[in-house]
Amino acid sequence: MTQSQPYWGGLESFYNTNSQVSGYITAKPKKMEINEFINKHKIQKKILNSFSHLVNSNKIEDLNIEDKEISIDIKKFDYKQTELNQHSFQTSILKNKKEIGYYTVIFTNEGNEIDDFFVIN
C-alpha cells in the first residue's frame, strides 16, 4: 500500500487533555477532527492491541528482533492521511527506553484497521 507524503504546511503539535493524546499533525485534517477520530474509534487502544497481538503471535526470528522485550510509545505518534484518505498512525518502538524502530497502523474512515507494519532500525 502506498502512503502519501506528509503535508509539510507547518508541523503542528497537538495535545488533547481528555485522552492524553499527543502527537504531530502532518496531514491536512484539522487537529480537532483528528482528536475526534482518535477518541471516537479508540485508536490508541486499537494500536496497542494490534502491536501486542503482532509481538505475541510471532516468533522472535520472524520479527527480526533479539527478544520480545519491546514496547511502543502510545502517547506520541505521527499522523498522516494517505492518498486514499485513510488514516496512518506511526509510533516509536522502544527497547530499554531507546527507540529501535517504528510501528505504523492504517485505519479506514470508519476506524477499521486496514494494515499494520513495523521497521526495526
Q: Is position 39 within any domain?
A: yes
Count of the separate structural domains present in the chain: 1
Q: At what angle do helices 43-56 and 31-40 cross, to 10 degrees?
A: 60
Q: Is position 3 within any domain?
A: no
Question: What is the residue range of 50's domain?
Answer: 12-120
Q: Is position 103 within any domain?
A: yes
Q: Is position 6 within any domain?
A: no
pLDDT in tens, the chain (121 residues): 334 333 322 233 333 333 334 444 444 578 889 999 999 999 999 999 999 999 999 888 888 788 889 999 888 989 999 999 999 999 999 999 999 999 999 999 999 999 999 999 8
* Cα–Cα distance, 73 to 92 (Å, whole number): 6
Q: Is position 86 within any domain?
A: yes
